[in-house]
Structure 1
Amino acid sequence: MKDRTWSFIFCFGIFFPLMCQAVIMPQHNSLAFRSSSILNTLSSKDVQSVYQDRDGYIWISTRNGLFQYDGYSITTYKSNLYCPDLLSSNNIFCVAEDSCHRLWIGTYSGLNVLDKRTGEVRKIENAELSGTGISQVLVTSDQRILFGTEIGLYEYKEIDNSFLAYDTSNTGGGFPRATIKSLFEDDRGDIWIGTWNSGLYRYEKKTGKYWKYPKMNSGNSAHVVFQDSYKNIWVGTWGSGLHLLHNAYDPERTTWTTFTHNEKQPYTISDNLIYAISEDVNTHSLWVGTRSGLSILPLQNGPIVFSGFENCYSGESENTITSSEVASLLRDRQGIMWVGMIGGGVNMVNTRRAKFSLDRLTETKRMLKSNSVRSLLLDDDGKLWMGISTYGFGVKDRQTGKFIHYNQMPDFMSYEGISTVMSIMQSPTTGHIWIGVYNGGAYELDKQAPVGKRVKAHNSGNAPWMCNSCIYDIYEDSKQNLWFATRGGVSMRAADGSPVRIDSLKVGGVAIQDMVAMQLTEGGNGEMWMASNTHGVVRIQGSGHSLNGYTLSAYSVVNGKLNSNYADCIYKDIEGRIWVGTGGSGLSLYDAVEDRFLPVHKLWNLPGDAVTSIQSDKKGDLWLGTNAGLLKLTVPKDLQNVTYPLLSKEITP
């Protein structure tokens, strides 16, 4: 049976605020870099690194303090008038968290560690590291804690609370003392070590051997090392551009391609001095932070075909980066790209492809002063019927984009004052379109009838099968009976046109006509289910014109068969399961064995506590309109391992 619309079009009477900063565009000038109002209050704009810890917090290392950002506020860690000896230096280079919830803080002058559980900050007292610049901290996948310093590579040994320095004496002659600028762990667990002027090294985890790489530039610089998702190794240098390694795991055969800046060629890298490298996995592009801007290079599986860098510079537009000296790049666990800049603070950009397209109904709003959609139908001609706020309804041709209000339709010109349309459906048997109006009855439109004779207006005064003119839902069952959910209960127009006044029956001592019926659905055995926002759920079993042939069952807080009396919607999925959405108690699922609704919202820890609409797609996934946003619910037949991505952030307002 055809029920409402199968095309996924969502309407939002009230739009909720979103955290999206941008959607992906093919070119950099379409990327909208943003900074939150909270991040704009950073007391230092000289950002040297941006890091996300295990709990999702963002840590911003600057030349004048360390800042923790939780999305709502900033916590500052720095030595000041009130706490003059908190850190060994306020010039923070980097941070990294270990498995013991300790945040290691590398500074211009020594190493500090913050215990996140207690908030205590401790300066590391070590003869070699005290007063030494700590440029890199790396916590490896096997929980080694490595430090790149201006005097060499160190590792913290938990067993005796000591620091081991690596040099030729304990690396088989493979690694000397050098100024370390980069530490990176690749997908093999190998550690790449970039130095200021001593070249590039790699520690091979499998063999424990250190490999030295050929000199790749005049300064022998390996300022930053990165591996992309296609396993390419990139080396950014201090003044000699960007290197892409070939045969990266065979130093004797390693060669490289170098990308350098050329002022006469616009698609070269923005500068030869490279600060940072990251990858945007949403667009499969390499992001390179340089002294002069942000350079973006498309990536691909296989040999790199150079198509040119797209360069972002500050001052190009209000949506561009706030400073051109890009010192740090971070891709967080949500795929959002963070850009830390010297003199520019922090910018963010969300490059995920929008999974939804938003039609703002500009023409509709211009005509009616509103684009709030209350009800939807995609008819068999592909036309979109919409109930618009309190202005009745209109039809949009999705091919031409033209919108026609009902008072512009010849067949509706004699029907003025149609207000809030709560339900629009098309009969799968007759093709007639039914429009249910709040306090206005129902309109039946036969598109095949002659113009001027297509519309019939039905209300409780002229239609014996309509119990109340305040219509919330219209439903056609498998026997071609039309059911009407109203403010005065439920009634039915049988397939032969006869009235069946279910509203006169009682259940649990309460007459159906005293219940507000919000929505209807048909169960797997032909029974009807009614959602009431005053009395929970009612099941209607039976058939025929005689009321004696019907049995009613109630499900509510009163008898303990439903955890709420405020049932706003009810739905049968493709598995035949009956779901009810309530206000305040969320989602419940009917258990036929126990003859009660199970409160699965709490069981599955779903967000929010109100479900106002339910639909399913062709795969059987449920789509829920909730007070926490749009929810996609995947429920296996055994009801185990339920997944529910919240998709509100995929919708860009």
Structure 2
Amino acid sequence: MMRHFPYRAGSAYIVRAMIAILLFCCALLPVYGQQKIESLSLHDGLLNPQVYDVAKDEQGFIWFGTADGVKRYDGYTFTSFRHDKNTPSSLSNNSVGAMLIDSKNRLWIGTWGGGLNLYQRKTQNFKHFLQDEENPSSLGGNKIQAIFESRSGQIWIGTNGGGLNLFNDVDNTFVRFEHNPNDKTSLGHNRVWSIAEDPSNNIWVGTSDGLYRKSRYTTQFERFGDTPNGLDHPEVRAIYINKKGYMWIATRNSFGRFYPKSNRYAPIEFPAGAIPSVTKITPYEDALLLSTFTGIFKFNTRKATFEPAAENGDWALSDNRDVRQVMVESSGLLWAATRYSGIKKVFLNPPRFQGWTNILSNQMLSGLFSQIISMAQKPNGEMWLGTGRSLVNFDGISKFTPQMSQENLDSLNRLRIDSMTYDNNEGLYLGTDFGLYYLATSSSDLEEIALDWAGGLNNTVEWVAHDAEGWLWLNLAKYRHVVRWNPKTNEVQRYLDEVDAEFTFIDNQNNAWVGTQGEGLFQIDPSTQGVINYNANDDANTLSSNHINAAMQAIDDTIWFATNRGLEKYTPSTKSFETISLDIDGVGFAVLSLVQDRQGMLWLATSKGIYRLNPNTQEFQYFTTNDGLHSNTFLPRSALLASDGFIYFGSIDGLTGFNPNAVSANDAIPPLAITGVEIDGEEVFPVPTSLVLPNDYKQLTITFAALDYHASEDNQYRTRLVNYYDTWSDITDRYTVSYARM
């Protein structure tokens, strides 16, 4: 889940005068990897896998109709509403097959044998509407097949055995439309499968014996589909009519387009091997999503053809699943209610991050190839990857080629590439665990460089950098100092005795910046050989951390340093530092690599995912595996901005790449709801709008949820108790808060 910082005015929520909760949650909606599908089942608290319907209310809760009652989902837990024979206002029957959230935000629940229920939000119980043989104004049948709201707000109920029913909101009665064998203008069958409305406000009804239209002006029904080009089966299970009046229906045998004026039905052939057993038709953008016994199919209404519903090209999404109903949120989440497999949550918007893992898995010691320690772009646009095994050529798409010969690979030889830098002749220097190497051209063999002044070969070179004057800056593991070496003259300069240097960064002014682990940052001017040390312990407390992991010079010439506590911004014109803290739970954390994209945004690889920072506003968002990353953990200084604008970060698990312009953030703050209240361990149900605590209470516990479902575990909160504890708590993913006696 992507988060936004710093805090924004207006992002605090106050519940009465009791508690305020500040939410840090937005989503990024995860186009490259495999389509993400999550399942909600017994492990998540869904005790029965038979789910028949799904709906979302105005507050943001997701409701599921199941064989075990109604379930309300808040992203963390299910709240169950079931029949209780000792509670008259409980759900009338646990078998729930149809639901509707109407334009008044009322939840209607159709049961199979218990009639119709209307959820009472204030008391969190139900009002029942049942068939009464003695009352012709009661519901016509207790088995509810369909619930529909017309544009005028009328509620229509389709039953199995009681025909079509129109609810009267004024006196809570029903007008029944049932089959009368002596009246040809009556409804043709008392089992109603589906209900729809056309642009002229006529009501269309699909029954077990035909398709019928009821004019808005009469109580009579007109039968359709009996012509030679009519329906292929009289049972009409689903109807959809768009704003233009175009009609699609599903019979027991097929799916197709129906033309009322000519009374003609044109079945549409399903993809090969599919069974056209459609239970529901749901509009989505320019398509219709068909819920079937064998998954979800996608029909493009504009092109009049089926399209693959799954990102991998499969015709069906969640194939081999008996899908009864789907619902698509505006954020791009699809919820599928399945008959035997619980709930499927499908991320329709594919991830923008591409991952390459298990690199060269056919080679021995293949795991070392997935350790991407360093990177450099080749002149032809491809990449050199420095791995834990050897230098590897990557074509930017899918092909990885080790530079090491197959003979050496089979002999289990390894050469860890810790760093790389180009010289002025486009030759590539490599700092490795077996010394310094040079690659004159992409097709050349590696040449080992003997550093006579350092004792010859096999000196581990942890870092190599090339400056504007042609000198190399080297960090050798054997010595606790930084070396500046001229390859042409063999002249050597030594700096920083007894310092644990991690890397050396050369800025645009040819100054060398040496990052250390524990001793801060050193600036070296090679023209004067002057050295300045900046650290967290100096008189000015210049830095927030003495652990420096990476450096980068931005478009505006400022230099950014990645530290174990966030970022340090250095402005050369004023020679001043500014600390940019990336805090979660009140604690800053390590930035390991950083890159600036062409729009000026900073991208930070951390041990907790990837961050995008606006350097002007200092607002940042972050992305995790829930947004499509293959890993949340990255390596220091393993980063590259490619010539095509792509950004790459390396980790011990492979390579991550993305187009920064394609990574969009969802800035909408989701609704926040209090979902539970406990006093001394006893639940207060229903959740009150205000609360009076007894004098002898010991602990008050409040549970809440941000009703965003992309990655609830990534949602972040701050809390405070207004007029008691007014200081905001640390940012946390915990969605409960407790207060002892106040």
* Same-fold status (TM-score > 0.5): yes
On the 8 A contact 1:237/1:274 being kept in 2, the answer is yes
Show the counterpart of 1:442.
Answer: 436
C-alpha spacing 1:402/1:553, structure 2 compared with 1 (3 Å): closer
Show the counterpart of 2:517.
Answer: 533
Please tell me the residue identity of whatever aligns with 1:542: D
Shift of 1:338: 3.7
- What is the distance in 2 between the residues matched to 1:82 and 1:594? 76
C-alpha deviations, 1:20-56, integer Å up to 9, x for none? 999789xxxxx89774564697433332113355677
Shift of 1:614: 1.3
Matches within 5 A, 1:180-191: none
Show the counterpart of 1:249.
Answer: none
- What is the distance in 1 between the residues matched to 2:316 and 2:254? 28
- What is the distance in 2 between the residues matched to 1:451 and 1:180? 77
- What is the distance in 1 between the residues matched to 2:438 and 2:524? 27
Matches within 5 A, 1:403-442: 403-404=401-402, 406=404, 420-427=416-423, 429-438=424-433, 440-442=434-436
Matches within 5 A, 1:624-643: 624-631=604-611, 633=612, 635=614, 638-639=616-617
- What is the distance in 2 between the residues matched to 1:81 and 1:542? 84
C-alpha deviations, 1:289-317, integer Å up to 9, x for none? 23x4346345264xx344x57799xxx99
SS in 2 for 1:363: coil
Show the counterpart of 1:484.
Answer: 474
- 1:517 aligned to 2:502? yes
Show the counterpart of 1:328.
Answer: 325
Shift of 1:232: 8.5
2:288 to 281, 286, 289: 286
- What is the distance in 1 between the residues matched to 2:548 and 2:214? 65
Shift of 1:240: 7.5
Shift of 1:288: 0.9
- 1:650 aligned to 2:649? no
SS in 2 for 1:612: strand
Please tell me the residue identity of whatever aligns with 1:379: K
Shift of 1:274: 3.6
- 1:79 aligned to 2:83? yes
Shift of 1:470: 5.5
Please tell me the residue identity of whatever aligns with 1:599: I
C-alpha spacing 1:416/1:475, structure 2 compared with 1 (3 Å): farther
SS in 1 for 2:550: strand
C-alpha deviations, 1:376-435, integer Å up to 9, x for none? 33323556433333x35444677994633546599x99x9976543212332x1222222
1:372 to 341, 359, 370: 370
- What is the distance in 2 between the residues matched to 1:553 and 1:608? 19
- 1:456 aligned to 2:449? yes
Question: Gaps (5+ residues) in structure 2?
Answer: 1-27, 131-136, 159-163, 178-185, 227-233, 632-742
Please tell me the residue identity of whatever aligns with 1:564: S
Shift of 1:184: 8.3
On the 8 A contact 2:33/2:351 being kept in 1, the answer is yes
- What is the distance in 2 between the residues matched to 1:393 and 1:38? 47
C-alpha spacing 1:514/1:642, structure 2 compared with 1 (3 Å): closer
C-alpha spacing 1:565/1:321, structure 2 compared with 1 (3 Å): same
1:149 to 151, 154, 157: 157
Show the counterpart of 2:343.
Answer: 346
- 1:277 aligned to 2:281? yes
- 1:597 aligned to 2:578? yes
Please tell me the residue identity of whatever aligns with 1:236: I
- What is the distance in 1 between the residues matched to 2:472 and 2:120? 67
- What is the distance in 2 between the residues matched to 1:216 and 1:23? 46
SS in 2 for 1:403: strand
Shift of 1:551: 4.1
- What is the distance in 2 between the residues matched to 1:416 and 1:311? 45
Please tell me the residue identity of whatever aligns with 2:125: R
On the 8 A contact 2:326/2:335 being kept in 1, the answer is yes
- 1:260 aligned to 2:267? yes
- What is the distance in 2 between the residues matched to 1:214 and 1:166? 18
Shift of 1:534: 1.7
- What is the distance in 2 between the residues matched to 1:64 and 1:191? 36
- What is the distance in 2 between the residues matched to 1:607 and 1:134? 54
C-alpha spacing 1:156/1:460, structure 2 compared with 1 (3 Å): farther
Show the counterpart of 1:613.
Answer: 593
Shift of 1:328: 0.7
- 1:45 aligned to 2:49? yes
Q: Which has the higher contact order (CA 8 A, sep 6+)?
A: 2
- What is the distance in 1 between the residues matched to 2:215 and 2:374? 62
C-alpha spacing 1:380/1:58, structure 2 compared with 1 (3 Å): same
Shift of 1:350: 4.6
- What is the distance in 2 between the residues matched to 1:69 and 1:361? 37
- 1:123 aligned to 2:136? no
Show the counterpart of 2:66.
Answer: 62
C-alpha deviations, 1:68-89, integer Å up to 9, x for none? 4566654433235897863222
- What is the distance in 2 between the residues matched to 1:489 and 1:589? 25
Show the counterpart of 2:562.
Answer: 581
C-alpha deviations, 1:101-141, integer Å up to 9, x for none? 986645442324365xx9x6211267978896666678999
- What is the distance in 2 between the residues matched to 1:547 and 1:216? 93
Show the counterpart of 1:9.
Answer: none
Show the counterpart of 1:4.
Answer: none
On the 8 A contact 1:577/1:590 being kept in 2, the answer is yes
Please tell me the residue identity of whatever aligns with 1:517: E
Please tell me the residue identity of whatever aligns with 2:502: A
Show the counterpart of 1:236.
Answer: 249
- What is the distance in 2 between the residues matched to 1:536 and 1:32? 42
C-alpha spacing 1:621/1:596, structure 2 compared with 1 (3 Å): closer
SS in 1 for 2:94: coil
Shift of 1:62: 1.2
On the 8 A contact 1:586/1:608 being kept in 2, the answer is yes
- What is the distance in 2 between the residues matched to 1:222 and 1:277? 9
- What is the distance in 2 between the residues matched to 1:320 and 1:258? 29
Matches within 5 A, 1:104-183: 105-108=109-112, 109-113=115-119, 115=121, 121-124=124-127, 147-150=155-158, 152-154=165-167
- What is the distance in 2 between the residues matched to 1:39 and 1:137? 31
Comparing 357-366 and 396-405, the one that deviates more: 396-405
SS in 1 for 2:70: strand
RMSD (CA atoms): 5.7
C-alpha spacing 1:55/1:191, structure 2 compared with 1 (3 Å): farther
